[in-house]
């Protein structure tokens, strides 16, 4: 596992999944790709398929209609995959915590490795969280 972690440390590929979000976190995730933040300078890039990803980045409440899809996408990911919950919604539900359509926090569906709180979290906070994830790979 040590050699694999050293390889991952140079280039994390991230798959972004929206699980019933209000889209504020999604907009902040897209900000990471702009020249102002330039996420790729750290070797981190977004990919279009979970089958190519090392990190599953999830935003949104995770309603009951989406819960099955979240688990299915997680099961399709090559292991080990790191799960990052972005925003207050996947962590505790925020304003939607008592909603009839919410099935509970994300960590009841799949294991979560990193939580990035905020509503929405700033791009700087997301970069800091992903860099802490990279620091764990030693």
Please name the CATH architecture into which domain 3-134 falls: 3-Layer(aba) Sandwich (3.40)
Cα(114)–Cα(84) distance, integer angstroms: 5
* DSSP code at position 107: G
Burial class (CB in 10 A: 0-12, 13-18, 19+), 121: buried
Predicted local confidence at residue 75, as pLDDT: 95
Q: What is the mean pLDDT of each run of 10 residues along the chain (138 residues)?
A: 57 87 83 86 87 90 84 92 88 74 82 90 88 73
Predicted local confidence at residue 49, as pLDDT: 93
pTM of the model: 0.85
């Amino acid at each position: 596992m040590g050699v694999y972690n050293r390889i991952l440390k140079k280039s994390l590929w991230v798959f972004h999944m929206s699980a019933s979000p209000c889209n504020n976190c999604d907009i902040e995730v897209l900000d990471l790709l702009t020249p102002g933040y330039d996420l790729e300078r750290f070797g981190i890039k977004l990919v279009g398929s979970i089958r190519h990803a090392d990190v599953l980045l999830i935003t949104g409440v995770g309603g009951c209609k989406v819960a099955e899809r979240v688990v299915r996408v997680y099961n399709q990911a090559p292991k080990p995959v790191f799960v990052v919950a972005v925003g207050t919604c996947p962590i505790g539900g925020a304003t939607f915590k008592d909603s009839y359509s919410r099935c509970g926090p994300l960590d009841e569906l799949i294991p979560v490795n990193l939580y990035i709180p905020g509503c929405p979290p700033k791009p700087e906070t997301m970069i800091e969280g992903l860099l802490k994830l990279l620091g764990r790979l030693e």
